[in-house]
Amino acid sequence: MSGATGQNRRLVVGISGASGAIYGIRALQELARHQVETHLVVSKAAAMTIAMETPMSVREVRGLAAHTHAITNVAAPVSSGSFQTMGMLIAPCSVRTLAEIATGVTTTLLTRAADVALKERRRLVLLLRETPLTLTHIRNMATVTEMGGVIALPTPSFYTMPATLDDVVDETVGRVLDLFGIDTGLVHRWDGTPPASP
């Protein structure tokens, strides 16, 4: 990993209630493997999604992070710009979470931490999970982009010839963590030659 040492080897990770909790879970696993200190915020809706979509409990997911913070704890360290981090990843990001960030109306620690990343000019990546999109969604994405955030959609790279759903998830997580300068080894780097069929 480049450009992050000491206290800057911290990343805030948010999991919102959109479908795709596995993206946040896999990101936490990879960040731990690369010795990045994670600060996790899980929304109430995300707790439901984790239970519905994965075999893990919320407690087990929290256990993947170095530190966890209650969604209601707006006094947590990650709510302040003085707490140095590499930035924040929200995976998955719901359109409600996107809307709060776009408008600056932050009602929970999840969106407050995202607001902090933007105001401190740190990297904010939103792995947005929604389709089709309304004009409001598109405008909110444009607003966050204009403020310096990155909207990342979990779009599969079919040229990598994924054999399993895990392959698709890992490729997406690898690409997203690339945005923070973290090379997980999960990304199939394009060299002009398609991989062989599995």
CA-CA distance, 178 to 123, in Å (whole number)? 12
- Asked whether residue 53 is domain-assigned, the answer is yes
- Asked whether residue 144 is domain-assigned, the answer is yes
The pLDDT tens digits of the residues spanning 86-110 come to 999 999 999 999 999 999 999 999 9
Q: How many domains does the chain have?
A: 1
- Asked whether residue 187 is domain-assigned, the answer is no
Question: Could you tell me the two tokens for 128?
Answer: 């947005």
Give pLDDT, residue 194: 75
Question: Could you tell me the two tokens for 169?
Answer: 């998830």
| Full DSSP string of 88-146 | EEEEEE-HHHHHHHHHT---SHHHHHHHHHHHTT-EEEEEE--SS--HHHHHHHHHHHH
Give pLDDT, residue 164: 96
Q: Does an H or E element contain 166, and which?
A: helix 165-178
Q: Does residue 48 register a pLDDT over 60?
A: yes
- Asked whether residue 127 is domain-assigned, the answer is yes
**CATH code (residue 113):** 3.40.50.1950
- Asked whether residue 198 is domain-assigned, the answer is no
Give pLDDT, residue 162: 94
The pLDDT tens digits of the residues spanning 148-182 come to 999 999 999 898 999 999 999 999 999 999 999 99
- Asked whether residue 76 is domain-assigned, the answer is yes
Domain residues for the domain of 36 are 8-154+166-178
Does this model's pTM top 0.85? My answer is yes
Please, what is the angle between helix 95-103 and helix 135-146, to 10°? 50
C-alpha to C-alpha distances, 160 to 70, 111, 181, 190, 198, nearest whole angstrom: 38, 34, 21, 9, 10
Give pLDDT, residue 129: 96
CA-CA distance, 19 to 54, in Å (whole number)? 11
- Asked whether residue 77 is domain-assigned, the answer is yes
Length of the chain: 198
- Asked whether residue 183 is domain-assigned, the answer is no
Q: What's the pLDDT band for 2 if we cut at 50, 70, 90?
A: very low
What single DSSP character describes residue 174? H
- Contact yes or no for 122/87 (Cβ under 8 A): yes
